[in-house]
Structure 1
């Protein structure tokens, strides 16, 4: 579960260190602690294990979670026969420290559940996803119990739900969709209870309908069961398929801004013509470039989303109306800073409740506040563009 603190990414103990660090070592020591945390965010790994029966759609599921289709570069190999006999790692296309691991199905190897975990080196994975397109078998119930005993989270996914519903239609049978989904869910839960899982939750999904059935709730559940840093990484890895995902990303990126502003305010050394302070231009360029990638506005992300939504990529690109998608050069950022300098910023904006010492370090005209203001404006502008793209892609109101 997410750690409890009044500041994102920092434990209560780390927050206490800020005041002590400032009192004993000044701003330089505080900056060192913040830099260490930003490095931790950038290098954090997330390893997600996916297992299931042959033909259950686990490779397609891995591709869908990464916003890919089977013919895309780097896609997991999908098929109706078991092609995986060793754990196979698939990195995320824009967050290379997020890995999905395709594990062999339990039934394909002559191991008991506990031996399977040993063979698959379970300790490297943050959690397990167990995929089935029919009834969840006793093998996977046993595997889930072993995972639980070892202190790892696991999630049951019942895939190809759209095929189940389509079968009724092809046979000319009229059904109540919600009632039928309820029956499938009840049957899956009942099977798991009989196999010894006391309170199982089963997510009903289609790998090709990412905004339908339980897929949105499934992603939210995964995020909510991760600690702050890994939750941050996981949310940024999600493809922009809903407005809710974009808003969650905005909130996550907003958490970084005060840290980046502190670094810029403390180590800024590039004089800006017309302004009375120096600012670290490199921090601003990197942040804006990262923001637009995380928000799915780079060319590769727009192309993947267009394929997922079945829309021409030009339709999506037409919704992007911001100069922030052009080259983010030193001169471009300087012009942004000069434009922002006329905005009145009060000293109160520098008071950060979770780190009181920061408010006493920087004044109203500091590069800290200007950087914070500029990055907030850039993030909001990019978020609005990402929202328009998703509305065009999926017809979301």
Structure 2
């Protein structure tokens, strides 16, 4: 029983802070022996990992399968936006082409040429594409998965990479069926398509294929959310967090998942503030680092899609005037962030500083106890937590105004 509890606590610590058990012990040891600068370096290194770790997503399939449209959709871009992948080209992708995420440039989606073309025949394709570069593969088909798709999947599996089959253009298929007239049941038709894809792949030698039915025109429908959850479940901690934060705000669930990921970063920024100006509780000083606060809130704001560029992209995706989305945003944190504003918020926080100590230490697993006695830590923690709550509320208002749905 005791061993299980210890494992649970370790898992919670790792999941909540991105630190391994060894890193937590090292951090505590450095701090307790007076090595605040070393502790600061350990935390800063982990923050840098979160900001700079690359996530490379490979998207492949035959020409015309909808790869470019999918790549644009998951980045929240319209085909005419700057940086959008070209759609509707007849020659298809001739070289692996990377498309950076508009707000998280360390996330890159790669449009890979289809296997079996003149330039990339099947027997050379596997050697020419650098598989080790990509974190996982999405194999897209607009109709049925081909022999080349299966060959590719088997090679990816051999190299111990994850792959997912995406059947695109589902909205087109269902529209055509409706136009034929007669009885039409969307759920039954979707199940038929899913079963057909499953049978097609199993007959070709892929056991238990993971298949997701997608419309890149309307990601809120069909299996896009299921695809996201499958990807998240397979990615390691930091890359999972990066992937979640890269998603467009299509629904309230995505906003809530983003909040959960960003909450894990709050204590690290607060701890960084704590080691910069650690002050014991009796002094209750506003020793928090204003630059850390501003940096954190700007990052939260972008991830929550509340900067001007993100609001414009979401408005275009939803087919709404951007003014309608901006009209529901009500927060001083979406404007210019200044030291004066941060200090005003901080002084308001001191009124509940002491009473919040026990609660804060309860919420922050293990590592919080390292800096929990410092007012700089607690004030920064409470300010960033309040800012994240505020931005989440506003992001949800924007999503509701854009899509009018959960």
Q: CA deviation at 1:225?
A: 1.1
Residue 87 (1) aligns with residue 96 (2) = yes
Which shifted more, 218-227 or 114-123?
Answer: 114-123
Q: Which residue of 2 aligns with 1:207?
A: 216
1:353/1:179 Cα in 2 relative to 1: closer, same or farther (>3 Å)? Answer: closer
Q: Which residue of 1 aligns with 2:351?
A: 342
**Residues 148-187 of structure 1: pairs in structure 2 closer than 5 A:** 148-187=157-196
TM-score w.r.t. the length of structure 1 is: 0.93
Alignment equivalent of 1:328, drawn from 333, 337, 341: 337
Hey, what's the Cα distance between the residues in 1 that align with 2:160 and 2:306? 38
Alignment equivalent of 1:239, drawn from 223, 228, 248: 248
- After superposition, the C-alpha distances for 1:218-273 in whole angstroms (9 at most, x for unaligned) are 11211221111001111110000010100010010000010100111111499xxx
Q: Which residue of 1 aligns with 2:369?
A: 359
Q: Which residue of 1 aligns with 2:6?
A: none
Which shifted more, 76-85 or 387-396?
Answer: 76-85
Q: Which residue of 2 aligns with 1:307?
A: 316
Q: Which residue of 2 aligns with 1:19?
A: 28
Residue 197 (1) aligns with residue 203 (2) = no
Q: Indicate conservation of the 8 Å contact 1:55/1:79, yes or no.
A: yes
Aligned length: 391
TM-score w.r.t. the length of structure 2 is: 0.91
Hey, what's the Cα distance between the residues in 1 that align with 2:394 and 2:327? 10
Segments of structure 1 that go 5 or more residues without pairing to the other structure are none
Segments of structure 2 that go 5 or more residues without pairing to the other structure are 1-9
Q: CA deviation at 1:346?
A: 3.9
SS at match of 2:92: coil
Hey, what's the Cα distance between the residues in 2 that align with 1:4 and 1:22? 22
Q: Which residue of 2 aligns with 1:218?
A: 227
Q: Which residue of 2 aligns with 1:127?
A: 136
SS at match of 1:108: coil
- After superposition, the C-alpha distances for 1:318-377 in whole angstroms (9 at most, x for unaligned) are 1101111110011111111111111143432453687646425442x6110011001000
Q: CA deviation at 1:180?
A: 0.8
Q: Which residue of 2 aligns with 1:252?
A: 261
Alignment equivalent of 1:188, drawn from 192, 197, 218: 197
SS at match of 2:93: coil
Q: Indicate conservation of the 8 Å contact 2:214/2:222, yes or no.
A: yes
Alignment equivalent of 2:327, drawn from 318, 321, 336: 318
Alignment equivalent of 1:146, drawn from 133, 152, 155: 155
Residue 6 (1) aligns with residue 22 (2) = no
